[in-house]
Chain A
Amino acid sequence: MRHKLSIIVDIVKLNDQNIRLILQNSDIASKATPGQFVNVRCCNSNELILRRPISILNTHEDCYDIIYKIVGEGTKRLSNFKIGESLDVLGPLGKGFTKEPLDKTIAFIGGGIGLFPLVYAASKFKDCDIDFFVGFRNNDEIMIIDEIKKTGANVYISTDDGSFGYHGFITDLFSENIKKYDKVYICGPLPMEKACVKILRKHGIKGQVSLEERMGCGIGACLVCACETIHGMKHVCKDGPVFNISDVFLKE
């Protein structure tokens, strides 16, 4: 069965680079779980023949939201679409974050665009005590903090240049009370993920990490998004993007 197009209900410019799309598609909205992503066709010409993977930020009724950062040709072209137009979006794709009933005290650690799937998870993981750590490069990048607070999480912010919140890396902040967490969820730039994973492994704390990899098909057919795990070669688009920390070897 053909997938339905996603209708752009609203476009919100969050700052210079980040744009939020509110998209209507009941199939995606009803099936999505936190940590999953969609694969977006960014222009109607075949000049770009790959879709772009973007995390799902949340769902509400028959809509879902995404936030994308304009970084290159694809995301630039995506910014040409207007309210009322339709986007060709495949999804939801991949496997998202999971939580055991016994995981009560949890931490989310997000950096940059890695923040978005974590916000979704925080809003869905009920009856938990959540600390949410967010790292940005600087003050201008800070976004959707109110939305994180709405989930009931305690929010801790750091900036690399000290222009807001804690001056330094987010790993310093969360490692202070690390022992109290039953589970930690990480999504951000690779160096940040690696630093966090190292700390968690040292303390034997369980967690999940969302990996980023360049993709082709997005559904497990082309094998370009490989990632080595203790269970052999896996594929980020289908077996991930979320993996248990104990299963993955992070790239050099």
Chain B
Amino acid sequence: MLKPNLSITIGDVTLNNPIITASGTFGFGREYGEYIDLNQLGGIAVKGLTLEPRLGNKTPRIAETPSGILNSVGLENPGVKAFIKNEIPFLTQYDSKIIANIAGSTVDDYLKMVEILNDTLVDLFEINLSCPNVREGCLAFGSSKDGVYRVTKAIKEIAKKPIIIKLTPNVTDITSIALGAQEGGADAISLINTITGMKIDIKTKKPVLHNNTGGLSGPCIRPIAVRMVHQVYQTVDIPIIGMGGITNLEDALEFFIAGASAVMIGTYHFMDPYVSEKVTIDLLKYLVDNNISDIKQLIGSLILHE
């Protein structure tokens, strides 16, 4: 059998394979480059960028919970200009696509960042409308259909790269939000971002995180993420990038079957720095072993009970 086709296309950009590292868990690629071959990845979604540098929240910024973590980094990042100068040259050495994850407090912030990044070697934009750990801003856009529609449309008008709209699960109806993104002209949707949570130190009666609340990620959120990918797949026609608690091939397959065209892997890198590379290799083997010539045959192959 020929080598199965693992490539997927978002807008006019083709990724070699559908395994992408999730924003905020993989820095700007350098650190994990010491462990894995970054060429093996379909894409790298970099740490969420803002127009100006941000220091982020006070520590503790992380708490462990059963099969997961809460984080409240608060978008610490060097700002979009430092990213262009210091990180893009490094990332362009690799075959994997560069996905600039951006977050703003106003529509104008997003537009300015897109303008600045338009003429760089970034391949795709991931618009974070859903960061739960900053007081001002982006969550507000992400939690209503109209908000998502407006930001998406405004960005789409000026963006020279395909745009992926990243959705928050902290909403009552994920499908209407996803429709907002599609109607606004999104090239793809990625979900889910973290779920807001809290952990309390019973001795001090204080939350473990200095920010009090944080975003839950890791295997504990996977069933919620799979369910949401399934719902959104039934609602929109644009590609979906699924994520939430992926630790191995089997986890990733759930997302493909539910309707994801690609997956992102985040938190599990902390336990296993090789996880993305492993899933990529295992996925290819799985397709060969099961006589599947194209990953697209798997996407949305879910058989629901009557």
Determine the distance from Cα of A226 to Cα of B55 in the docked complex, in whole angstroms.
9
A128 interface residue per 8 A CB criterion:
no
Determine the distance from Cα of A2 to Cα of B281 in the docked complex, in whole angstroms.
14
A90 interface residue per 8 A CB criterion:
yes
Chain A 214-252 interface residues, beta-carbon cutoff 8 Å to B: 214-228, 233, 238, 251
Closest to B77 in A: A223
Closest approach, in angstroms, between the C-beta of B157 and any C-beta of chain A?
32
- Whether B67 pairs with A221 at a CB distance below 8 angstroms is no
* Segment among A29-37, A40-48, A78-86 that sits at the interface with chain B: A40-48
Sample of 18 further A-B pairs with CB below 8 A, known A223-B24, A223-B56: A1-B35, A2-B274, A46-B247, A47-B67, A49-B68, A49-B218, A49-B267, A49-B271, A50-B69, A217-B270, A219-B273, A221-B269, A222-B27, A222-B270, A224-B60, A228-B55, A233-B55, A251-B59
Number of A-B contacts (CB under 8 A): 98
B97 interface residue per 8 A CB criterion:
no
A183 interface residue per 8 A CB criterion:
no
Determine the distance from Cα of A227 to Cα of B61 in the docked complex, in whole angstroms.
11
Listed in ascending order, the chain A residues whose CB lies under 8 Å from chain B are 1-3, 41, 46-51, 90, 213-228, 233, 238, 251
Determine the distance from Cα of A250 to Cα of B71 in the docked complex, in whole angstroms.
21
Contact partner, A219, options B34, B58, B66, B219, Cβ 8 Å: B34
Q: Which residues of A contact B270 (CB under 8 A)?
A: 49-51, 216-218, 222
6 A-B pairs closest in CB distance: A221-B27, A224-B62, A221-B31, A224-B61, A219-B31, A217-B270
Q: Which residues of B contact A47 (CB under 8 A)?
A: 66-67
- Whether B25 pairs with A222 at a CB distance below 8 angstroms is yes
Determine the distance from Cα of A214 to Cα of B60 in the docked complex, in whole angstroms.
6
B250 interface residue per 8 A CB criterion:
no
- Whether A217 pairs with B219 at a CB distance below 8 angstroms is no
Q: Which residues of A contact B32 (CB under 8 A)?
A: 219, 221
Determine the distance from Cα of A222 to Cα of B31 in the docked complex, in whole angstroms.
10
Q: Which residues of A contact B218 (CB under 8 A)?
A: 49
Size range of the chain B interface in the assembly: 35 or more
Query: Given A214-B61, A216-B270, A221–B26 Cβ distance below 8 Å?
Result: yes
Determine the distance from Cα of A223 to Cα of B218 in the docked complex, in whole angstroms.
17
B166 interface residue per 8 A CB criterion:
no
Chain B 6-28 interface residues, beta-carbon cutoff 8 Å to A: 24-27
Q: Which residues of B contact A215 (CB under 8 A)?
A: 62
B226 interface residue per 8 A CB criterion:
no
| Pairs across A and B, CB under 8 Å, 20 listed | A1-B35, A2-B274, A47-B66, A50-B270, A90-B273, A215-B62, A216-B270, A219-B32, A222-B25, A222-B27, A222-B270, A223-B27, A223-B56, A223-B73, A224-B59, A224-B62, A224-B73, A226-B59, A227-B59, A251-B58
Closest approach, in angstroms, between the C-beta of A44 and any C-beta of chain B?
11
B268 interface residue per 8 A CB criterion:
yes
Determine the distance from Cα of A217 to Cα of B32 in the docked complex, in whole angstroms.
10
Q: Which residues of B contact A218 (CB under 8 A)?
A: 270
B145 interface residue per 8 A CB criterion:
no
Contact partner, B61, options A2, A48, A226, A251, Cβ 8 Å: A226
B47 interface residue per 8 A CB criterion:
yes
Q: Which residues of B contact A224 (CB under 8 A)?
A: 59-62, 71, 73
B140 interface residue per 8 A CB criterion:
no
Q: Which residues of B contact A216 (CB under 8 A)?
A: 25, 62, 69, 71, 267, 270
Q: Which residues of B contact A220 (CB under 8 A)?
A: 27, 31
B76 interface residue per 8 A CB criterion:
yes
- Whether B24 pairs with A226 at a CB distance below 8 angstroms is no
Determine the distance from Cα of A213 to Cα of B62 in the docked complex, in whole angstroms.
10
- Whether B64 pairs with A48 at a CB distance below 8 angstroms is yes
